[in-house]
């Protein structure tokens, strides 16, 4: 295997030198583990050309094909449920009940976040509860292997290629490590940021409540959140919630739970 990897790396490097087209170098996607080890050195060559340093390349070389991630990616059935069924499955009543207590317990933190970003506690707490059960379920997968596998997989390679480049940049900076644990798709922290989102909107340690919630508020503000405007469907700030997650039932659930946590019916 080592000689094969070395040969592929040498081929890719030679292609750069000889001026071959980028299409000749492009790392090919696959639909199973068979080609993953051969794909890594090709992707590494492209990553070096984009400025990824030694730490990021070394981390990429250590990744493995994450079969559990692929299985999870093919099984996202809950987003196809009705809104009522989705909210029951995700435990919305428990999220609202505990969320109200979390709002009181962390009143100073939420007041500070709202003052800075204009986002009230409700939707932030709803996202926090929905994503990780208020930080209790952050995943135990190798973040980089999950994202590298999805970048290699033919289902959504462009989207996860961007995520992989972002993860490698964060590793180069020392913000993330090659051993970082996350959820099935590589999300990390208490509100589950993907690396590109972390790179663009992270404002603290995402493993802490304050860092994760502040970063989430920063994301929403950057996507058009207007201080004091409503966030239910049809209201101005609902569009920002839609940018957080593309699933309609998820968006609606966050709006409903957020309203209930903030004191609405």
What are 215-265's pLDDT values in tens digits? 999 999 999 999 999 999 999 999 999 999 999 999 999 999 999 999 866
Tell whether 130 and 200 lie within a shared domain.
Answer: yes
Tell whether 115 and 53 lie within a shared domain.
Answer: no
Nearest-angstrom CA–CA distance, 137 and 142: 15
Tell whether 89 and 158 lie within a shared domain.
Answer: no
| pLDDT exceeds 80 at position 143 | yes
The count of other CB atoms within 10 Å of the CB of residue 256 is 20
Q: What is the CATH number of the domain that holds 246?
A: 1.10.530.10
User: How big is the CA angle at 128 (ends 123 and 129), to the nearest 5 degrees?
Assistant: 100
Tell whether 197 and 109 lie within a shared domain.
Answer: yes
pLDDT tens digit sequence for 87-111: 999 999 999 999 999 999 999 999 9
The residue with greater pLDDT, 76 or 83, is 83
Structurally, how many domains does the chain consist of? 2
In which band, very low, low, confident or very high, does the pLDDT at 64 lie, cut at 50, 70 and 90? very high
- Global confidence as pTM: 0.86
CA atoms within 13 A on the CB side of 169: 16
Quote the percentage of the chain above a pLDDT of 90. Answer: 85
Tell whether 59 and 154 lie within a shared domain.
Answer: yes
CB of 225 within 8 A of CB of 209? Answer: no
CB of 195 within 8 A of CB of 176? Answer: yes
Tell whether 98 and 153 lie within a shared domain.
Answer: no
The residue with greater pLDDT, 12 or 227, is 227
Phi-psi category of residue 19: left, alpha or beta, with phi > 0 → left and psi -120 to 50 → alpha: left
Tell whether 16 and 131 lie within a shared domain.
Answer: no
| Torsion angle (degrees, nearest 10) of CA 259, 138, 167, 65 | -130
Tell whether 146 and 133 lie within a shared domain.
Answer: no
Q: What is the pLDDT of residue 210?
A: 97
Name the residue range of residue 42's domain: 2-73+142-182
Nearest-angstrom CA–CA distance, 31 and 162: 19
Phi-psi category of residue 82: left, alpha or beta, with phi > 0 → left and psi -120 to 50 → alpha: beta
């Amino acid at each position: 295997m080592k000689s094969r990897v070395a040969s592929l790396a040498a081929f890719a490097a030679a292609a750069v030198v000889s001026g071959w087209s980028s299409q000749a170098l492009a790392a090919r996607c696959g639909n199973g583990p068979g080609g993953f080890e051969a794909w890594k050195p090709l992707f590494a060559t492209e990553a070096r050309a984009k400025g990824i340093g030694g730490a990021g390349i070394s981390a990429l070389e250590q990744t493995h094909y994450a079969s559990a991630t692929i299985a999870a990616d093919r099984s996202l059935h809950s987003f196809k449920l009705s809104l009522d069924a989705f909210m029951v499955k995700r435990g919305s009543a428990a999220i609202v009940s505990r969320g109200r207590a979390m709002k009181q317990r962390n009143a100073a933190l939420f007041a500070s976040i709202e003052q800075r970003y204009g986002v009230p506690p409700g939707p932030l707490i709803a996202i926090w509860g929905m994503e990780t059960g208020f930080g209790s379920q952050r995943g135990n997968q190798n973040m980089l292997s999950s994202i590298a596998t999805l970048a290699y997989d033919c289902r959504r390679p462009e989207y996860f290629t961007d995520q992989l480049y972002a993860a490698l940049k964060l590793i180069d900076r020392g913000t993330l490590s090659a051993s970082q644990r996350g959820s099935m798709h590589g999300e990390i922290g208490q509100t589950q940021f993907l690396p590109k989102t972390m790179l663009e909107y992270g404002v603290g340690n995402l493993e802490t409540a304050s860092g994760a919630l502040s970063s989430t508020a920063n994301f929403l503000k950057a996507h058009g959140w207007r201080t004091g405007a409503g966030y239910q469907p049809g209201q101005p700030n609902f569009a920002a919630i839609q940018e957080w997650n593309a699933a309609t039932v998820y968006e609606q659930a966050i709006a409903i739970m957020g309203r209930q946590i903030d004191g609405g019916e």
